[in-house]
Each structure stands twice: as C-alpha cells, then as structure tokens.
Structure 1
Amino acid sequence: MPITVTPFLRNVLLLDAVATGATAVLALAGASLLGPLLGIPSGLLFWAGVALVPFVAMVFAVSRRQTVSRAMLVEIIAINVLWVVASFGLLVSGAISPNLLGIAFVSAQAVAVALFAELQYVGLRRQPA
C-alpha cells in the first residue's frame, strides 16, 4: 500500500541521507587517518563507508518521491535499526578494541541512526490506515 511522503517524512529521510552520506564519505576518504585515531581498523571503516553508499542512494531517492510503499519505508527503518544493533554489538563483541574516542564515535553515530529510525517510524505512524 503506498503512503504519502509528507514534508516531515521527506525532511527526515533527506536528513538521514545527508548525514549517512557524510559518514560514508568520511569513512571512505578518511579511513587511513581515522583508524589510528579511533583505534578502529582502517579496513573496517573503509568497507563500512562502501556499505553505506547504496543505502544513501536509496534513502535519497525515496525522499524525492511523492509516495512510497509502506514496505520500502519499513525496510529503511529496519536497516537503520540493524545498523544500530550492529554498531553496539561490535563494541561489546571484543572483535575490535577502539579507544575512548572510537567508542564515542561509534556510539554517537549509532544514537543518531536510532534517532532517524525513530523519526521515520513516527512519520510512518502518522499515515492514515
């Protein structure tokens, strides 16, 4: 069932695309500098940036539409939630040993993504049944 992309939802999606795009560029272009600074492997940062590129394109494209399928919006929310879970999971797994700045970086981006997911969910809930 298609839903209308309201100005609120459009702005949330666009902000998600811009912020995630900035994170992708930072990770792609700055992996070799950020890795040692954060105590996170540079390769992990680089490939995380690569993984974000198609998501950014999808969210940006959806933000430009007048209507979108409910399933597509749920998929965007789910991907954001999975990113948050994976981010915190990485920190507690022991797979990497970030320093305090690295922990703060991963946590801050995860909290920002959680906020986007919540706002997108609010936009979805505001749709008529």
Structure 2
Amino acid sequence: MNITRHPHFLRRLLLADAASCLAIGAALALGPGLVADLLGLPADLLRAAGLVLLPFAAFVLFVASRPILSRPGVWLIIGCNAVWVTGSTALLIGGFAAPTALGIVFVVAQAFVVAVVAELEAMGLRATSPIPA
C-alpha cells in the first residue's frame, strides 16, 4: 500500500504539522533573544515568525480535527507552507538579514522540512477522495 493512501496519513501529517508549528512558534515568540545572536537573525523577526506560526498551528489543528477534512482548508495549509518556504528563501537571498552560518543552516533546514511537509500534504490530499474521520 502506498503510504499516502493510508486513510489516516493526511490527518496525522496535519497533526504533526500543527504540533511542530506550535512548538517552534511558542519557542520563537517567547524566547527569540536566546537564539538571535547564535543565528544572526533579528530577535524581532524571530518573534514575528513565532507569532505567525501560533494561529497557523491553531488553524491546521482545526482542519485536522474535523470529522471530514476540508479540501480547501488543506490546500490553504499547503499554500501557506509554500509561502513560508518562499519567505525563508527571500530572507537568505534578499539581504534582509545577515545570518551566521548556523542561521543559514537553520533557515535552509526548516524551509526544506516545510517544503517536504507541503508536498506530502499535497500527495496525501490527491490520494484521497472524501476523507472520513
């Protein structure tokens, strides 16, 4: 069986997406100063990113917890993830900050993970018909 066709694949992936956004969002919103110098990224930028992730996590959790997943809701999540990856790329090539080597690795790594999650979400959505609980 193709893993993306498993009846719970997409729902579980969305729950993992929500949990990771909540964890990273809370860490960045509450303690950006702890990593700002290490990453070479402005604390205000990290705090703003964290504050953006918190309502996004709530929305992803809301969509994932419905008895039937909303296809438009999941596509919106995928689109938001794509915007995040684009923003991360723009941060590095646009000269908006001067990240350290560790900061570059952090931005690239999280953008890569978000891109993979978005692609898996799209694959999971395409592999399903109506999605029961």
Q: TM-score, normalised by structure 1?
A: 0.91
Find the aligned partners of 1:110 and 1:40 in 2 and give their Cα distance: 15
Find the aligned partners of 2:100 and 2:111 in 1 and give their Cα distance: 16
Gaps of 5+ in 2: 1-6
Structure 1 counterpart of 2:106, which letter? F
Structure 2 counterpart of 1:61, which letter? F
Three-state SS of the structure 1 residue aligned to 2:99 is coil
Percent identity of paired positions between Structure 1 and Structure 2: 43
- Map of 1:1-129 to 2, 5 A cutoff? 6-128=7-129
Matched with 1:3 is: none
Deviations 1:67-123 (A, max 9, x none): 132211110100001100110111100110000000011111111111110111011
Q: TM-score, normalised by structure 2?
A: 0.89
Q: Which has the higher strand share?
A: 1
Matched with 2:3 is: none
Gaps of 5+ in 1: 1-5
Moved over 4 A (4+): none
Structure 1 counterpart of 2:29, which letter? L
Find the aligned partners of 2:61 and 2:70 in 1 and give their Cα distance: 15
Quote how far apart the aligned CAs of 1:46 are: 0.4
